[in-house]
Amino acid sequence: MSGKIFHELLLERLNAAAIDDPTNSSEMKPPQCARSLESFPPTMEKLVDVSVSPLFLLNASRKENRPASKFIRATQAQWSPIRTSPYKTRFRCFSVENVTPSSIPLACRGHGTTLTGRLHGLVLILLEALLGGTQASAFASNKAIDQQRHLPSGRPTYSSFQPTTAFGNYVSMMDHRFNSAVVSQIRSMVGEKDHAESLSTGLMEIVWTTSLKVRKAIEEKLSMSLRNDILGLAKDIPDFREKFKMMQRRPASVPG
């Protein structure tokens, strides 16, 4: 979201500079900013109260504190352990036909879903095909949710804050789980021909069904605003570095 806002504001400033002084439109000067913490966007928990119900708190506490080695979920990515080194960014390039970018959104809308939902469905098929049904009986995924839309503006403490133009990491997370029944159904349909350029009709039906479920889950999450969100538990974490170190020692909940 911050990247989108940045490029929109950059284009706006460039266009304004060209109109105001066409002879110096290529010259850009850095803005004069106050060097203080007050000039940075506040954190989400300072802007809004993220309320959690007792049941949500109980479930989160139970999930956090139970021994991972004794309570193994089928969706745990035992086949993809967390590796902290070597820490590298992997960059891949690929090309698509000109007709593809326009046809994909149309196909998604025709099936009542979005590109995000379809990607979840396709990756689910891909993972099962790659693993061959021997290492996982179910899968899970994480999805970043933009919560900037739920942030208020004009609060007395942060009167200059505007959610529509702020650069900040205002996101939350949600899980999607794909149970063993769906994975078994995929496994029974995956064949050699599905490693080619197209999927069978049956697998495409699963892709669209999964995509629709993901889209509905995202809509339901967004409709709840910030109620019962994992961000409501962030204030109880004294040291996030230690928190992440502890998470590295536990089995991965989703593929890394």
Place of tokens 């090309």: 95
Place of tokens 């979920």: 73
Q: What band does 199 get if pLDDT is binned at 50, 70 and 90? A: confident
pLDDT of 17: 66
pLDDT of 220: 92
Look at residue 70 and give its three-state secondary structure.
coil
Which residues, 6+ apart, have CB-to-CB distance to 3 below 8 Å?
A: none
Between residues 235 and 188, the one the model is more confident about: 188
pLDDT of 18: 59
Q: What band does 156 get if pLDDT is binned at 50, 70 and 90? A: confident
CA-angle at 116, arms to 113 and 119, nearest 5°:
100
Which residues, 6+ apart, have CB-to-CB distance to 164 below 8 Å?
A: 5, 153
pLDDT of 35: 60
Q: What band does 5 get if pLDDT is binned at 50, 70 and 90? A: confident
How far, in Å, CA of 48 to CA of 229, rounded? 12
Cis peptide before 255 (omega within 30 of 0): no
Looking at the predicted structure, is the pLDDT value of residue 10 above 90?
Answer: no
Between residues 100 and 228, the one the model is more confident about: 228
Tokens for 256? 């890394």
Task: Give the range among 26-30, 98-102, 195-199, 248-252 with minimum mean pLDDT.
Answer: 26-30
Q: What band does 130 get if pLDDT is binned at 50, 70 and 90? A: confident
Mean pLDDT, residues 24-37 taken together: 59
Mean pLDDT, residues 236-243 taken together: 83
Which residues, 6+ apart, have CB-to-CB distance to 5 below 8 Å?
A: 164, 165, 166, 167
pLDDT of 118: 93
pLDDT of 114: 92
The model carries a pTM of 0.76
How far, in Å, CA of 65 to CA of 60, rounded? 9
Q: What band does 100 get if pLDDT is binned at 50, 70 and 90? A: low
pLDDT of 28: 57
Which residues, 6+ apart, have CB-to-CB distance to 153 below 8 Å?
A: 161, 162, 163, 164
Q: What band does 241 get if pLDDT is binned at 50, 70 and 90? A: confident
Cβ–Cβ < 8 Å for 232, 60: no
